[in-house]
């Protein structure tokens, strides 16, 4: 199975505001991190438009939770399109799509592990914490970030997000394992994703990944934005 990945720098993109809905533009105007929100919502709409062959304004993404009645905190889904997942830091936006099955993606800034011991106590399982404590101090932050991105990707795939306590998700091997309600019946495969700037990223899928293809942003923006001129 192939996973397509777009890695996009977060910066001001005024031309992308026109891709958003009126409510999304209003929300962006209220946010301190408006560039991140705008980039995330616009990229999802641009990708959806490319898959469905419709204008970005007609892309309707379902964000409802599959495990409760909340309409806004679920795994994003687009009818008629493959599974996709979005993650961001203040500098990078990551969009991953799977040709089959489900996908979850996460990217994190190295600053997240500024206090490795403190974060480890919150997110690692008992077995993972023993391995963390036994690792050389210079390696602990990197190991922790790798574990965290894999957990986050797996929890996003499951549509649980942080509703599943990270310490109950074990990612020491090639598969994520968790004893939490709502966890997928299929195996959840894990894969690290190389990214720049010291960032750490990971993918989780319900189908083994044969290859990851890095895609060009212009593949999405050129057709959609040209159609608005």
What's the domain range around 170?
A: 2-226
Strands (DSSP E) contained in the chain are 2-9, 84-88, 92-98, 103-108, 169-170, 175-178, 188-193, 200-205, 211-214
Sorting pLDDT into bands at 50, 70 and 90, what band is 190? very high
pLDDT tens digit string along 57-79? 889 888 877 766 666 666 888 88
* Tokens 């419709």, residue located: 54
Report pTM: 0.89
- What is the model's pLDDT at position 224? 63
Q: Please give the Cα distance from 228 to 20 (Å, whole number).
A: 13
- Is a pLDDT exceeding 60 seen at residue 229? no
Of the candidates 24, 38, 37, 68, the residue with the CA atom closest to the CA atom of residue 161: 68
- What is the model's pLDDT at position 60? 86
Higher pLDDT pick, 105 / 219: 105
Sorting pLDDT into bands at 50, 70 and 90, what band is 119? confident
- What is the model's pLDDT at position 227? 55
CATH number for the domain spanning 142: value is: 3.90.470.20
Number of domains within the chain: 1
pLDDT tens digit string along 15-56? 888 889 888 899 988 988 889 999 999 999 999 999 999 989
Helices (H), 53-183: 116-123, 126-134, 137-157
pLDDT tens digit string along 139-181? 999 999 999 999 999 999 998 876 678 999 999 999 999 988 8
Of the candidates 11, 202, 193, 200, the residue with the CA atom closest to the CA atom of residue 91: 11
- What is the model's pLDDT at position 174? 95
Q: What percent of the chain has pLDDT over 70?
A: 92
- What is the model's pLDDT at position 159? 87
């Amino acid at each position: 199975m192939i996973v397509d990945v777009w890695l996009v720098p977060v910066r001001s993109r005024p031309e992308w505001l026109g891709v958003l809905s009126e409510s999304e533009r209003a929300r962006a105007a209220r946010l301190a991190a408006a560039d991140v929100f705008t980039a995330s919502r616009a990229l999802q709409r641009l990708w959806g438009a490319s898959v469905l062959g419709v204008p970005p304004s007609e892309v309707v993404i379902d964000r409802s939770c599959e495990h409760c009645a909340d309409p806004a905190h679920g795994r994003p889904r687009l009818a008629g399109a493959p599974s996709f997942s979005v993650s961001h830091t203040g500098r990078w936006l990551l969009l991953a799509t799977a040709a089959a099955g489900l996908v979850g993606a996460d990217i994190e800034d190295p600053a997240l592990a500024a206090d490795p011991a403190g974060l480890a106590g919150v997110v690692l399982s008992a077995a993972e914490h023993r391995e963390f404590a036994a690792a050389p101090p210079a390696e602990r932050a990197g190991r922790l970030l790798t574990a965290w991105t894999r957990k986050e990707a797996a929890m996003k795939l499951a549509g649980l997000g942080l509703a599943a306590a990270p310490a109950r998700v074990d990612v020491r091997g090639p598969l994520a394992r968790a004893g939490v309600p709502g966890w997928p019946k299929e195996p959840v495969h894990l894969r690290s994703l190389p990214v720049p700037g010291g960032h750490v990223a990971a993918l989780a899928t319900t189908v083994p990944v044969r290859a990851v293809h890095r895609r060009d942003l212009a593949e999405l923006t050129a057709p959609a934005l040209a159609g608005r001129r």
